Structure 1
């Protein structure tokens, strides 16, 4: 039996005698003057919303506006980890739905997103971290998510590459083990959603920046772009890194700080690390890609900045901790380094749904955990836009919670950039 995440079309293509080229997306066209829905942001979230609007709600008069190239923002700058071992019941239910959707995407798209279950280890180096791991494990179990607290002897069996010596600065006391933890090809996810949406009639316009939001008497009417004015019945923004700037155009403020998040990869080496390793105490995470690269990152930078520059300070701090966990990597070379822009909310949870501007919707505040939520964001925001009412899974993430003191505290499960 073929694994569920391998698209059957890949096998049909491999055994075919002819290989007809298939255009991924229709040829670019002019903007129409009016659309039912305009989506600002051509990353994974915006494309997924467009896809589900067409698939489940029959809304195809949709325009996706991207100021750069398709999925060239944070979607192209993340480290592609998928998991649902969060801390709050609201967060666990939300991300678990996303994992379920991810597991079927390759078949749904007939397009291989390279989804690979690895097992996710959140290492604990202190008694406090062990308590938090136990807490998260119990919340996960209550909601049907496979997570458990394990100890060094079990870690050694599951991940023999890790340094479990007690002769280090931060010995490993245990770990929250989450078997469904996975990685996927980030651009394949975006392209799959984009192709499906385009085939249904959605228009995707690249190199089209939004310069203003048109609103009258508190109701959105359309957007101004570098290619002209476009009117719409409803507008959604899904612009990671620029959320506060776009919201300001619409006339309201967001409780968001935008901070650089850096990562890097090594030169390819033979596969030795099947698992995803995360340490909140060391501010480090690592997995090995299908090409053999070690994909590494850590926490956000300690200051707000609208920039995607990289720093030597980040590499020095990250790689020092990497050598404590995996000391055999001392001679391994770094291949490339990059940064994204993370929109951080006070409670480390997203802001989704309605806004003070009628018919204007928002999908923002994703910090360091936006990629793993791509499918569920598209699904729930499409429902919210089509029906005018927030999907049950995103009701806790409304903007009003900051004024009503109803925050969803996920810092204990999202304090490292993964």
Structure 2
């Protein structure tokens, strides 16, 4: 044992100072109140304080820090979407992840290993060609690869030659990767806290006081707070939170489940998704194989895992990599996804003058954490929605200018 480590262990100042200060008393007024202490809310607080000089900010979280969908996702990061608006948005998100550890002075364990989405039919291959062409045009590293190249990218795959699920090719997205979800949240929280942002855990918003088309106060179980501006970023509870302000969002919520295996030596060096099997796999830095798939087929506010989804995910994983059949599962969990009709988020203005929305993230919220935080901070600070966010306005459902990203989910992640 190094002497310095032994000395640190017996130091009177041990443990070191906390990255996140204890929850303070609520003030009577804040310039900005952010509802939701997950990745998006914390990222917005960081960018507001660092780049816009706004530090009179309260982040309200009814549970514990980043304990909702931020802690329950499978950490996939990518920009291989379908619409030009979606690709441009998530491309900026990937670029922010690439330099996030330096931005936050916190190792978020970003691993840009690429994503391989498998095609089992000619129709899927044709759709991949359209996605690759649009992605290349907008500057992402996305291309269609043939059967031989798929085998090179993931040599242990079951190609099922001649079978009903033969792998004919794939969509290779070299920009794809993963990051450590709790590190991302804690990195943003630590930076925001150091600049004076207050993070209030165990603080539930129960109502809004509204007059003159504005939110005057946010009512919590610890008291009411007068505020200048408010942002809602509560993940799977966005619909319920907005409804308290009299706003009904075009959102329906579904559980989304995933599971992990026991740790294995490194062998899966890319993210692998199968559209036909609705299954995807990625190996974590600890060696666990993370397995996920599509959302549950029913509306429900629940984070309970189910046997039928476990069987479905296990069957897909074993088909793709048959040697996994005797590997033990460690745990299974679920999150709540807030889905919009066009599988794209809602960002920007609400019907209330000082209430901003960061909602409708479905299964793609984690990958958008830095770009949503950055651009929503810009929106709140300036009072104007930047061009990159305008297509995601809630108004698009009234004008029928939808952004259909349903085919880009690649097994709902």
Matched, 1:357 2:341: no
Distance, in Å, in 1 between the alignment partners of 2:171 and 2:193 is 40
Note the aligned Cα RMSD (angstroms): 1.5
Matched, 1:46 2:68: no
Distance, in Å, in 2 between the alignment partners of 1:321 and 1:375 is 31
Distance, in Å, in 2 between the alignment partners of 1:210 and 1:231 is 13
Match of 1:327 among 322, 325, 336: 322
1:36-71 deviation per Cα after TM superposition (whole angstroms, max 9, x unaligned): 000000000000000000111110000000000000
Match of 2:111 in 1: 116
SS at match of 1:39: strand
Match of 2:84 in 1: 89
Matched, 1:199 2:189: no
Displacement after TM superposition at 1:117 (Å):
1.1
Q: Is the 8 A contact 2:258 2:292 kept in 1?
A: yes
Distance, in Å, in 1 between the alignment partners of 2:139 and 2:153 is 22
TM-score w.r.t. structure 1 length? 0.95
Matched, 1:33 2:28: yes
Matched, 1:247 2:242: yes
Aligned length: 405
Map 1:63-142 to 2 at 5 A. 63-142=58-137
Match of 1:7 in 2: none
Q: Is the 8 A contact 2:274 2:410 kept in 1?
A: no
Match of 2:404 in 1: 409
1:159-193 deviation per Cα after TM superposition (whole angstroms, max 9, x unaligned): 10111132443111111001111111000000000
Structure 1: unaligned runs, 5 residues or longer: 1-13
Distance, in Å, in 1 between the alignment partners of 2:247 and 2:18 is 40
1:390-416 deviation per Cα after TM superposition (whole angstroms, max 9, x unaligned): 121111000000010000111110252
1:331-363 deviation per Cα after TM superposition (whole angstroms, max 9, x unaligned): 011100000000010000000000001100010
Distance, in Å, in 1 between the alignment partners of 2:266 and 2:17 is 33
SS at match of 1:392: coil
Match of 1:311 in 2: 306
Q: Is the 8 A contact 1:123 1:176 kept in 2?
A: yes
1:55-102 deviation per Cα after TM superposition (whole angstroms, max 9, x unaligned): 111100000000000000000000001111111100000000000000
Matched, 1:374 2:369: yes
Map 1:240-279 to 2 at 5 A. 240-279=235-274
SS at match of 1:247: helix
Displacement after TM superposition at 1:220 (Å):
1.1
Matched, 1:339 2:344: no
Distance, in Å, in 2 between the alignment partners of 1:265 and 1:168 is 28
Match of 2:387 among 392, 397, 402: 392
Q: Is the 8 A contact 1:384 1:390 kept in 2?
A: yes
Match of 2:233 in 1: 238
Match of 1:5 in 2: none
Distance, in Å, in 2 between the alignment partners of 1:27 and 1:295 is 33
Map 1:4-43 to 2 at 5 A. 21-43=16-38
SS at match of 1:24: coil
Runs ≥4 residues deviating over 3 A: 17-20
Q: Is the 8 A contact 1:50 1:64 kept in 2?
A: yes
Displacement after TM superposition at 1:30 (Å):
0.2
SS at match of 1:407: coil
Q: Is the 8 A contact 1:81 1:372 kept in 2?
A: yes
Distance, in Å, in 2 between the alignment partners of 1:101 and 1:196 is 16
Match of 2:143 in 1: 148
SS at match of 2:388: helix
Distance, in Å, in 2 between the alignment partners of 1:346 and 1:415 is 17
Displacement after TM superposition at 1:22 (Å):
3.4
SS at match of 1:177: strand
Q: Is the 8 A contact 1:260 1:341 kept in 2?
A: yes
Match of 1:4 in 2: none
SS at match of 2:101: helix
Structure 2: unaligned runs, 5 residues or longer: none
Distance, in Å, in 1 between the alignment partners of 2:409 and 2:268 is 23
Distance, in Å, in 1 between the alignment partners of 2:129 and 2:164 is 23
Q: Is the 8 A contact 1:89 1:143 kept in 2?
A: yes
TM-score w.r.t. structure 2 length? 0.96
